[in-house]
């Protein structure tokens, strides 16, 4: 029964929606502001009149909408909206209300970047945090580094696909040493993808990257079930890590953050999750739970892969 409970706990996200993320760029000049919103197409497939609805859920206090336009960016599978605003007078701080989570999916996160005369500010919005005030200041190198590393940490742990693959790494490890080696190989694979992808000219669709990442869970689960004593597993996991690295690269491309800082944040977050899951799994009284956990991961990986292919 305990093994079944762990299996159900790992499988429940198959019915969930991976955390979605949109980005916004706000450029302020005196009493005028230009805003650009980018969101994955599959997040708004159910939104009626997105050209009206999306911008209506991002509000800048005191601003008057002057013009707007929206279009589909097919190569990137994203939807773009641009809008110009006018304030009654020049501003040095802006109160923002963002309720995109109410019209997209409940776990939607909007990452907003804003600049004013070389000064920058960032804000993160979700279903619980819908209001923020942008107070422009000259960002120090330390502030920028913390912001970018934190964003990398959040992106690396942004949904069940990422978290369950890390869980699969722990389940596949037969010792702490093997976990350290495979985790290192996984991280090297992520770094390799981020380093090489810009030179390939390939712009993978977010849906493809999600589907591929889900399939890595299924593949590792099959190894656990059918090849429990397989050697050189670190080599396979390094290759699987490249698919997860593509997700980080798409995030870096969208935010223009520095790769090294995003990857550092990702490593910190992933290391914390691996340690927590290892602690939990190591306290199981029976190793017979491992096949049940691997089976749950296999079901999730295949189900999510199928949903992403169809969706």
Is the same domain home to 184 and 298? Answer: yes
- CB of 179 closer than 8 Å to CB of 274: yes
Is the same domain home to 52 and 10? Answer: no
Is the same domain home to 35 and 51? Answer: yes
C-alpha 204/C-alpha 13 separation (Å) is 24
Last residue of a domain, one of 108, 142, 176: 142
Domain assignment present for residue 163? The answer is: yes
First-to-final CA distance of the chain:
34
- CB of 100 closer than 8 Å to CB of 74: no
Burial class from Cβ neighbours inside 10 Å (0-12, 13-18, 19+) for residue 226 reads: exposed
Domain assignment present for residue 147? The answer is: no
Domain assignment present for residue 244? The answer is: yes
Is the same domain home to 11 and 62? Answer: no
Is the same domain home to 171 and 127? Answer: no
Give me the domain span that covers residue 30. 21-142
Is the same domain home to 175 and 137? Answer: no
Is the same domain home to 34 and 10? Answer: no
| Farthest-apart Cα atoms in the chain, separation | 69
Is the same domain home to 167 and 212? Answer: yes
Last residue of a domain, one of 142, 169, 184: 142
Q: Tens-of-pLDDT digits for all 311 residues of the chain? A: 344 333 433 433 433 444 568 889 999 999 999 999 999 887 888 898 999 999 999 999 999 999 999 999 877 678 999 999 999 999 989 999 999 989 988 778 888 989 998 888 888 888 888 999 998 876 678 878 888 898 889 888 877 888 899 999 999 988 899 999 999 999 999 999 999 999 998 878 777 888 899 999 999 999 889 888 877 889 999 999 999 999 899 888 877 889 999 999 999 999 999 999 999 888 875 667 888 888 999 999 898 888 877 75
Is the same domain home to 198 and 135? Answer: no
Is the same domain home to 39 and 133? Answer: yes
Is the same domain home to 128 and 48? Answer: yes
| Phi, psi of 279, rounded to the nearest 5 degrees | -60, -45
Question: What are the residues whose beta carbons fall under 8 Å from the beta carbon of 133, sequence distance 6 or more?
Answer: 93, 94, 95, 96
Last residue of a domain, one of 142, 168, 202: 142
Is the same domain home to 171 and 273? Answer: yes
- CB of 227 closer than 8 Å to CB of 221: no
- The HSE-up count of residue 309 (CA atoms within 13 Å, CB side) is 9
């Amino acid at each position: 029964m305990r093994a079944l409970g762990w299996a159900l706990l790992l499988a429940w996200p198959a019915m969930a929606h991976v955390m979605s993320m949109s980005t916004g760029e706000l450029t302020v000049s005196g009493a005028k502001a230009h805003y650009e919103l980018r969101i994955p197409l599959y997040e708004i497939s159910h939104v009626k009149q997105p050209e009206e609805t999306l911008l209506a859920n991002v509000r800048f206090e005191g601003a008057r909408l002057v013009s707007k336009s929206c279009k589909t960016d097919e190569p990137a599978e994203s939807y773009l909206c641009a809008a110009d605003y006018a304030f009654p007078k020049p501003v040095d701080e802006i109160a923002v209300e963002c309720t995109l989570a109410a019209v997209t999916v409940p776990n939607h996160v909007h990452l907003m970047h804003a600049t004013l005369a070389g000064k920058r500010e960032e804000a993160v919005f979700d279903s619980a945090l819908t209001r923020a005030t942008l107070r422009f200041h000259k960002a120090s190198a330390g502030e920028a580094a913390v912001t970018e590393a934190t964003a990398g940490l959040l992106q690396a742990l942004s949904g069940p696909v990422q978290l369950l693959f890390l869980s699969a790494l722990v389940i596949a490890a037969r010792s702490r040493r093997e976990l350290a080696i495979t985790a290192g190989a996984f991280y090297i694979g992520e770094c390799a993808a981020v380093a090489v992808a810009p030179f390939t000219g390939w712009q993978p669709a977010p849906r493809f990257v999600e589907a591929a990442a889900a399939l890595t869970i299924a593949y590792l689960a099959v190894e656990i079930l059918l090849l429990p004593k397989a050697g050189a597993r670190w080599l396979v996991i390094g290759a699987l890590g490249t698919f997860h690295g593509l997700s980080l690269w798409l995030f870096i491309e969208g935010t223009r953050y520095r790769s090294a800082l995003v990857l550092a944040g990702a490593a910190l977050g992933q290391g914390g999750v691996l340690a927590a899951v290892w602690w939990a799994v190591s306290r199981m009284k029976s190793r017979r739970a491992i096949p049940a956990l691997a089976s749950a991961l296999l079901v999730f990986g295949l189900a999510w892969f199928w949903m992403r292919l169809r969706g």
